[in-house]
Amino acid sequence: MLKETKEKLEYVLSVLKIQQIYFNACAVLSFDLETVCPPKGMNNQGETSAYLSNESFKLSKEPKFIESYEYLYQHIDELDEFDSVLIKGLHKSFVQEKNITPEMNLEWSKAFNNSWVNWLNAKEKDDYSVFAPSLKEVRDINLKMIELNEERKPVAYDNLLDTYETGMTGVDLDKYFGECKERLIPLLKKIQASPKKIRTDFLSRPVTDEQQKAMAEYLLNVIGFDFTRGALSTTEHPFTNGLAKDDIRVTTHYYPNAFISSMYSVIHEGGHALFEMFQPAENYDHYISGKKTMGMHESTSRFYENRIGRSREFVHLIFPKCKEIFSNVFYDVTEEEFYEAINCVEPSFIRTEADEFTYTFHIIIRYELEKEIVNNGAKIEDLPKMWNDKYEEYLGIRPSTYKEGILQDVHWSSGFGYFPTYALGNMYNAMYYNAMVKDFNVGEAIKDGNIQKINDWMTERVWKKADRLEPKEWIKEITGREFTAKDFLDYLEEKYSELYNL
Amino acid sequence: MLKETKEKLEYVLSVLKIQQIYFNACAVLSFDLETVCPPKGMNNQGETSAYLSNESFKLSKEPKFIESYEYLYQHIDELDEFDSVLIKGLHKSFVQEKNITPEMNLEWSKAFNNSWVNWLNAKEKDDYSVFAPSLKEVRDINLKMIELNEERKPVAYDNLLDTYETGMTGVDLDKYFGECKERLIPLLKKIQASPKKIRTDFLSRPVTDEQQKAMAEYLLNVIGFDFTRGALSTTEHPFTNGLAKDDIRVTTHYYPNAFISSMYSVIHEGGHALFEMFQPAENYDHYISGKKTMGMHESTSRFYENRIGRSREFVHLIFPKCKEIFSNVFYDVTEEEFYEAINCVEPSFIRTEADEFTYTFHIIIRYELEKEIVNNGAKIEDLPKMWNDKYEEYLGIRPSTYKEGILQDVHWSSGFGYFPTYALGNMYNAMYYNAMVKDFNVGEAIKDGNIQKINDWMTERVWKKADRLEPKEWIKEITGREFTAKDFLDYLEEKYSELYNL
């Protein structure tokens, strides 16, 4: 590396170090906002966050900083693999953001924060009109961002999707989701026509928060979550927040009559956390740990939640503890009944509580609506009806409140394009599961409680290069195959045909 | 106000607004550190805090800012009462801090954070040697700070005391504490010789965290804590943190075999919170809400905890709820037995759990040691023995572990001079209690659950001007009398003579 290149790189890293401090502060503020902050304190805290993130944004607009990484972009062959990923990413953001002023950025941060507060209130009051103006504003901001990007893709939605899942387009998704609809709609009909009766009465037996907390901590320990580098809290909507290299937090929500909800959201968020915890330490030194896409992330979380968590072997592993902690629930339940109950297919309103099979429809519905909102200028006031119509069309059910309909998810309070990553995640992990079983007996590892063996494979094959590759390259590197929805659909067909004796 | 004055004032306020943002961020970080942050994440978060507080510190060193408030200090007669308090405070800090560079400030912030982590570990391991080097470093920093202050007071400790309790000196405290020792030591001997038997067996009956949480929320509601502007969390060491005008948080710690500990720490912290919640809103606009001294603050917290909380009337008010929430504790306990138990005088090791009577000795011991540390260069390794000797001398008991001795309190991890404010607080509130009873029947208000009446009086008489007056002026304004320890000592004598039939 030439001296000038070295100096520029050091300068770039020194700016990123400060930006990381702002990021860390904002992450703590955001975590606090969702877990502890009292209602009347939220506005002030939102302003603090907006100010700090704008300070960081201003740093990214410093001419010397831009000049330095643009120089490095011209000399990319002198850099190692990590730094070259970093510099390419900076160059890309530069192009996307160069027409965004700090004033716009500050205004938008405030708008997103405000929108989140409005969403929370709207959901609590079950009043769409409280959130609708924010939703419109969020769309306008998203469109404005796209308009300001000189190298934008021609279809508006593709630009948003690209921020979460680099290289994926609406054309790709239409194909994958088309295949899903083609195979899953008839399969759902067969399942619904099956005479198989699955017992689910015990799932709504009352439990205390303390029982659920004990179970949540047990499950996180089982999958290998490191409590010296992470924490568990409660929030309205569960999430994972990687605040720093050694500070990865997951949250859950305890419902007194739905212990399954917290159990599986904890495994899901725990899966996200493992990805953050077991990525290469160099990612932090090179400031590229945020490069992994949301689809990659969701592949991991849904891998632990569904492929591991809802397998017969995992049920076998945790069943004794379930009987111990939830003795008032499981006194008359068999292991097989529990397995069947957590895999029972039943169209329902709430995405996060949907069974593994119908889940994909929840995503397809949001994806189709997002395209209407972003590409086709759908009227904001028409969205609840469009939402409900789609639920009726694909799942045969119609929400009767906003809470169980369009207001259920937080995501649209800050933008569009995230939802498809959940479904892509399922497709990725079905592919790498099929690679994993070639290397060792995964079911046996689960049954033995040897999740470490799975985590080791994931570390080496799935997590290691995630920050350095685009999704399509990444899944090919792991599996040796091109991306496809087929593995996922085969898996669903096989698992649910067996369960429902089809 | 002249145009130039107006412009300078506006400029000063604009800088303070940004500093307030940094303050808010650091307050959230600190709250998070104590409540959620996982062990390995603490260092990183400490660095974030140190960076942000240093950014704020750098703003306070901007020549234009200093020049502006120094100009205003010269034109103080043009300012209103609030702004003139503000400008005097800025001028005073300027003098105290003008020789402190941002580098020193950053280094010290890191040292204090590090010291806090070491204290936590030392206490957990009951190993004084883990904390001793930090304690030495903290003393060195405190002495260096004093040395850099060109207008320092001749006795080192007085400078530290002055940062918490403006205008108070070691000479004052020697007098007040001398009176305390003179009257309380013989009184304690009489109490210990009294044949009165107080029943306390039920205080260690086991309760769950959930019972204690329900009780904590009930008590905060009873005293008028506003949950839309505040929150309750748990920490190792209870505290109150005013993060922003509408975000005042209290914490507590639930011990399974000492429900009284959390009950009274919650009332104590709740008292701090009421002070923050019910101060004039203008304090925030004029950035003077931090001017109230720690002694004023402790007067309030200890007023609610002891004068209200440990009174017969308060016990009468809350007893039905105690029986309801802690039904497994109170099934064979009378109201009078409960009153006696929470006022039982019994020399003990832990300050925060000490009874109201022996509490003052805990403070005197710390005060006397602080003077040895700061003024007389006591050897750090000798402190545990000095600590234990004093406990033996004043209370007749000797700690056998560091945890129940010198490592019990967090305070020395960041400096000296705070402890005396607890005792001063008792003396202040005894004086204003005597003023309050002239205006209305306080006992009856408590018995009726009309704490609002007390809060209204406190708002108008005690809290309103706290940020604008020095402690000695303030107590004189409230009571029309000079500060004295007499009211407090009379109160103790009367209350405990009655209780112990002396």
pLDDT tens digits, one per residue of A408-432: 999 999 999 999 999 999 999 999 9
* Nearest by CB: A38 against B41, B51, B231: B231
Q: What is the pLDDT of residue B105?
A: 86
Residues of B in contact with A208 (CB under 8 A): 210
Q: How would residue A91 be classed by pLDDT, with cut points 50, 70 and 90? A: very high
Q: What is the pLDDT of residue A102?
A: 81
A40, A241, A252: which to substitute to probe chain B, counting the most B Cβ within 10 Å? Answer: A40
Tokens of B370: 């602080």
Rounded to whole angstroms, how far apart are CA atoms B165 and B417? Answer: 9
pLDDT digits (tens, 9 = 90+) for A342-381: 999 999 999 988 999 999 999 999 999 999 999 999 999 9
Those residues of chain A whose CB sits closer than 8 Å to some CB in chain B are 18, 21, 24-25, 28-29, 31-32, 35-41, 44-45, 47-48, 51-52, 208-210, 227-231, 233, 243-247, 249
pLDDT digits (tens, 9 = 90+) for A307-339: 999 999 999 999 999 999 999 999 999 999 999
The answer to whether the CB atoms of B24 and A18 lie below 8 A apart is: no
The answer to whether the CB atoms of A25 and B29 lie below 8 A apart is: yes
Smallest CA–CA distance, residue B51 to chain A, in Å, is 8
| Catalytic residue IDs of A | 269
Distances, alpha carbon B301 to alpha carbons A110, B41, B312, in Å: 36, 32, 18
Smallest CA–CA distance, residue A241 to chain B, in Å, is 12
The answer to whether the CB atoms of A45 and B249 lie below 8 A apart is: no
Q: Are strands B230-234 and A240-244 parallel, antiparallel or unpaired?
A: unpaired
Is the predicted pLDDT of residue A2 greater than 90, yes or no? no
Say what percent of chain A tops pLDDT 90.
94
Residues 6+ apart with CB under 8 A from B497: none
The answer to whether the CB atoms of B41 and A233 lie below 8 A apart is: no
The answer to whether the CB atoms of B246 and A209 lie below 8 A apart is: no
Is the predicted pLDDT of residue A109 greater than 90, yes or no? no
ipTM confidence score = 0.85
Q: What is the pLDDT of residue A105?
A: 86
Tell me the backbone φ, ψ of residue A403, rounded to 5 degrees. Answer: -55, -40
Q: What is the pLDDT of residue B307?
A: 97
The answer to whether the CB atoms of B244 and A28 lie below 8 A apart is: no
Residues 6+ apart with CB under 8 A from B223: B267, B270, B271, B274, B304, B308, B451, B455
Residue B143: Cβ-neighbour burial (10 angstroms; 0-12, 13-18, 19+): middle
Q: What is the pLDDT of residue A180?
A: 97
Q: Which residues of chain B fall short of a pLDDT of 70?
A: none
Rounded to whole angstroms, how far apart are CA atoms B20 and B119? Answer: 28
Distances, alpha carbon B236 to alpha carbons A430, B34, B124, in Å: 45, 8, 11
Q: What single-letter DSSP state applies at residue A154?
A: S
Q: What is the pLDDT of residue A36?
A: 93
pLDDT digits (tens, 9 = 90+) for B111-160: 998 999 999 999 999 999 999 999 999 999 999 999 999 999 999 999 99
Token match 């890293």: residue? A13
Smallest CA–CA distance, residue B284 to chain A, in Å, is 12
The answer to whether the CB atoms of A244 and B28 lie below 8 A apart is: no
| Catalytic residue IDs of B | 269
Is the predicted pLDDT of residue A437 greater than 90, yes or no? yes
- pTM (predicted TM-score): 0.86
Query: How many interchain CB pairs under 8 A, A with B?
Result: 105
Residues of A in contact with B229 (CB under 8 A): 38, 40-41
Q: Report the run of H or E that residue B232 belongs to, with start and end.
A: strand B230-234
Residues of A in contact with B227 (CB under 8 A): 38
Q: What is the pLDDT of residue A97?
A: 87
What dihedral angle (degrees, nearest 10) is formed by the CA atoms of B397, B400, B401, B403?
Answer: -20
The answer to whether the CB atoms of B244 and A45 lie below 8 A apart is: yes
Q: What is the pLDDT of residue B389?
A: 98
Q: What is the pLDDT of residue A354?
A: 92
* Nearest by CB: B229 against A35, A40, A233: A40
Smallest CA–CA distance, residue A21 to chain B, in Å, is 5
Smallest CA–CA distance, residue B160 to chain A, in Å, is 30
Q: Are strands B247-252 and B230-234 parallel, antiparallel or unpaired?
A: parallel
Nearest alpha-carbon partner for B419 in B379, B354, B368:
B368
